[in-house]
Chain A
């Protein structure tokens, strides 16, 4: 894995956005070759979304040939409810950029047959050629998407009942009223995300520090489902100082030392305004580990 440690939330958000921008531009998407992006919701990725919107508004990035697949959606919440993940994606991302609605995919938590909806979602990912880059977050209990502790590490998109930890964490979006928080959700499986060609996990804040420790310094364990990505060939963890508080000093020092190398992934920062992308730059990939 690459562990990218930035000083604070806004720097971490910006690094992640720059990385996504460079990945899309270097992929050189077109009408026959879409860039497939997996996307998260929640407060962690908000800063990253804001930067991506800024890049679009400045003319440096376009989502015209990007297809998106969101990780999850609540079951039973009306699509236009202000807390649904459809509303989140519309208000925080889609409405500000040039993505075509037909290229966005979010699970429908009000489908008549929920498992059929999940199976169809897997088919859509397959039809799009698989996910190029899956961006996700981590819950305080170490879950990825809604793969709560105990979820199979080879699971696929399915219906999940939410753990109390998650319901508590989400209560603040429902006026602090636990009774209003949905108890079930549709979510991509750990296996679904593992199938992506690259995975980027955003982790910020001290309240996520223990989960990060469990995810990368302890073993692969279905109680901390993000740990599954220790077995993925290409994972990037982007975090701020606070999220590293439970890690060994040795781990933090090692990866901070690597920032010189890792920053080459975001510098130079590419833009669609440039007529020519330097050929030499793209052929010489920074070494990965």
Chain B
């Protein structure tokens, strides 16, 4: 193949003295890269009879596939749900800054917004490959507006919608088109949801169930229609009940289509989900767990007020709440302002970076390092049908990987075999 010949002239880099995540295990193997892809060194040895052009010592570190964040609302002051003139710069800034969290691909997420925002913002967020400029954009995640009123969480009530009679056309009209869209979160109990789920699935868009009061039966029908993901399990849905487990019951449902795996996002920031709940979900269905940050614009900034779409968000320490009024509250206290009775303890996204989520997940569940890493890389890739080239260090996959020390802190990030970020201490 012509393309293969061009790549064959590219230099071969051999990453040595490392452990790589491959086949669900951490193996003491070298990682070989050429032309931005993972290379099979045995083939290189016996067929091309070549050695590496360059060897890089990884100091005994772990090499894992780059993390993939399928739910991130913004960060570093950037709010993806704001209809600015230059959405592209905001996306680029976040894309660049999350490299230090080990994220090499992500889905910019838009919360429930008025039509004008979708029409203005969506066309400005094209799918884009990652590189030194930042993590790759896999497509947009539209969380809302077709969600439940009771479970809207931090989403603005005024802009919620339900499907009209010609449901799919309504969807197109709301979003202004589905180019660049990768995931849509909706509540399946809304009327006409099934035709929408079927149409979106047929277009290759991943349908996720969330912000919903659906019972298990409704949720199962939605999966049968094509839904494959659950948006931040436990949050913004009915709690597990032993006679009607609700959406949570999908994890162990026996009424899913044969061969279909249901994936579920979990925000493992130590706040959104009690560790015991995290463990219950992980033990019930470990292969479906997808770590997401659900990060808000306050990610990477300090305490204080920030926006999230049409809402204001208050950040204290590691917690972000929907802002009530201007009085500040002690952490975890009932958040009702004595002056205006406004206030909320409604969580509003998270500000824990992805690598912190991986570490917290590992510590809270006591799972293996391999499981924790797969939850942030392989599983989101499988959710999006990208597992041949992303979320894996198999031969032929894109060389997007992260160098981690034993405590899973990010030392360096690579995209297409190129170093795109490095920790301060590691820099020469």
Tell whether, in the assembled complex, residue B42 and residue A101 are in contact, meaning their CB atoms are under 8 Å apart.
no
Given contacts A100-B51, A101-B50, A101-B51, contact A95 B45 (CB under 8 A): yes
Chain B residues numbered 32-66 whose CB sits less than 8 Å from any CB in chain A? 41-46, 48-51
- The interface-forming segment of A41-49, A79-87, A170-178, A199-207 is A79-87
Kindly identify, within residues 90 to 110 of chain A, every residue whose CB is under 8 Å from any CB belonging to chain B.
90-91, 94-95, 100-102, 104, 106
| A226 vs chain B, min Cβ distance (A) | 29
A225 to B51, CA, bound (A): 38
Residue numbers in B under 8 Å from A87 (CB-CB): 42
Chain A residues in 8 Å Cβ range of B48: 101
| A90–B51 CB distance below 8 A | no
Flag if A86 contacts B41 (CB, 8 Å). no
Number of A-B pairs, beta carbon distance below 8 Å: 26
With both chains docked as a complex, state the minimum distance between the C-beta of B206 and any C-beta of chain A, in angstroms: 34
Within 8 A of B (CB), among A256-287: none
Residue of B nearest to A91 (CB): B42
Distance in Å: Cβ of B370 to nearest Cβ of chain A: 21
8 Å CB contacts to A: which residues of B365-392?
A: none
The SS class assigned to the B binding surface is: helix
With both beta carbons as reference points, the residue of chain B lying nearest to A98 in the complex is identified as B51
Taking the closest CB of chain B, its distance from the CB of A139, in whole angstroms, is: 26
- How many B residues are at the interface, by size bracket? 10 to 19
Select B46's contact among A86, A91, A100, beta carbons within 8 Å.
A86
Chain B residues with CB under 8 A of A95: 30, 41-42, 45
Bound complex: CA of A102 vs CA of B49, how far in Å?
6
- Does B51 contact A80, Cβ atoms closer than 8 Å? no
Chain A residues with Cβ under 8 A from B30's Cβ? 95
**CA separation between A102 and B48, bound complex, in Å?**
9
Q: Which residues of B contact A100 (CB under 8 A)?
A: 51
> A101 vs B48: C-alpha distance in the bound complex, in angstroms?
9
Is A80 a contact partner of B49 (Cβ separation < 8 A)?
A: no
In the docked arrangement, what's the CA distance between A94 and B49, Å?
12
Q: Contact between A90 and B49 (Cβ–Cβ < 8 Å)?
A: no
A94 contacts B43, CB within 8 Å? Answer: no
Question: Which residues from B are CB-within-8-Å of A102?
Answer: 49
Rounded to whole Å, the gap between the CB of A123 and the closest CB of chain B is: 18
CA A273 to CA B30, docked complex, whole Å: 25
CB proximity to B under 8 Å, residues A223-279: none
Closest to B29 in A: A95
- The complex places the Cα of A102 from the Cα of B44 at a distance, in Å, of 11
* Smallest Cβ-Cβ distance to A102: which chain B residue: B49
Residues 58 to 99 of chain A near chain B (Cβ within 8 Å): 79-80, 86-87, 90-91, 94-95
CB-CB contacts below 8 Å: B72-88 with A: none
CB of B66, distance to nearest CB on chain A (Å): 25
What is the bound-complex CA distance between A53 and B43, given in angstroms?
21
Residue ID in chain B nearest A86 by CB atoms:
B46
| Complex CA–CA separation, A80 to B42 (angstroms) | 8
CB neighbours (8 Å) of A80 from chain B are: 42-43
Q: Is the CB of A101 within 8 A of B41?
A: no
- Which residues of A sit under 8 angstroms from B50, Cβ to Cβ? 101
The reply to whether A79 and B46 form a contact with Cβ atoms under 8 Å apart is yes
- Which chain A positions have C-beta within 8 A of B49? 101-102
Residues of A within 8 A of B44 (CB): 101
Report the nearest B residue to A87, measured CB to CB: B42
Most buried by B among A90, A101, A106: A101
Residues of B within 8 A of A86 (CB): 42, 46
- Complex Cα gap A208–B30 (Å): 36
Encoded as 1 (CB less than 8 Å from any A CB) or 0, chain B from 1 to 41 comes to 00000000000000000000000000000100000000001
Q: Smallest CB-CB separation from A108: which chain B residue?
A: B46
Restricting to A141-164, which residues have a CB under 8 Å from any CB of B? none
Measured CB to CB, the closest approach of chain A to B313, in angstroms, equals 52
Q: What CA separation (Å) do A95 and B43 show in the bound complex?
A: 11
Least CB distance from A45 to B in Å reads 19
For B40, the closest partner residue in chain A by CB is A80
Query: Least Cβ distance of B95 to chain A in Å?
Result: 36
**Nearest Cβ distance between residue A77 and chain B, in whole angstroms?**
14
Question: What is the CA–CA distance of A104 and B45 in the complex, to the nearest angstrom?
Answer: 10
Q: Contact check, B45 vs A101: say whether CB atoms are below 8 A apart.
A: yes
Cα–Cα distance between A87 and B51 once the two chains are bound (Å) = 17
- Find the residue from B30, B46, B48, B51 having the highest chain A CB count within 10 A: B46
Residues of the B chain whose Cβ atoms lie less than 8 Å from the Cβ of A101: 44-46, 48-51
Instruction: Report the separation of the CA atoms of residues A104 and B41 in the bound assembly, to the nearest whole angstrom.
Output: 15
Q: With A and B bound together, what is the CA distance between A86 and B44 in angstroms?
A: 13
Output the nearest chain B residue to A100 by Cβ-Cβ distance. Answer: B51
Bound-state CA distance A95–B46 (Å) is 11
Chain A proximity of B394: nearest CB distance (Å): 14
Complex Cα distance A100/B50, Å? 8
CA distance A104 to B47 in the complex (A): 12
CA distance A79 to B42 in the complex (A): 10
Q: Which residues of B contact A90 (CB under 8 A)?
A: 42, 45-46
Nearest chain-A residue to B42 (Cβ)? A90
Bound form: Cα–Cα A100–B51 in Å = 7
Among residues of B, the one whose C-beta sits closest to the C-beta of A79 is: B46
Q: What A residues does B51 contact at CB under 8 A?
A: 100-101
A268 to B275, CA, bound (A): 60
Which A residues lie at the B interface, using CB under 8 A? 79-80, 86-87, 90-91, 94-95, 100-102, 104, 106
11 contacts between A and B (CB under 8 A): A79-B46, A80-B42, A80-B43, A94-B45, A95-B42, A101-B46, A101-B48, A101-B49, A101-B50, A102-B49, A104-B45
Besides the contacts A80-B42, A101-B45, A101-B51, what 18 more A-B pairs have beta carbons closer than 8 Å?
Answer: A79-B46, A80-B43, A86-B42, A86-B46, A90-B42, A90-B45, A90-B46, A94-B45, A95-B30, A95-B42, A95-B45, A100-B51, A101-B46, A101-B48, A101-B49, A101-B50, A102-B49, A104-B45
Q: Which 4 A-B pairs have the closest CB atoms?
A: A101-B49, A101-B45, A90-B42, A102-B49
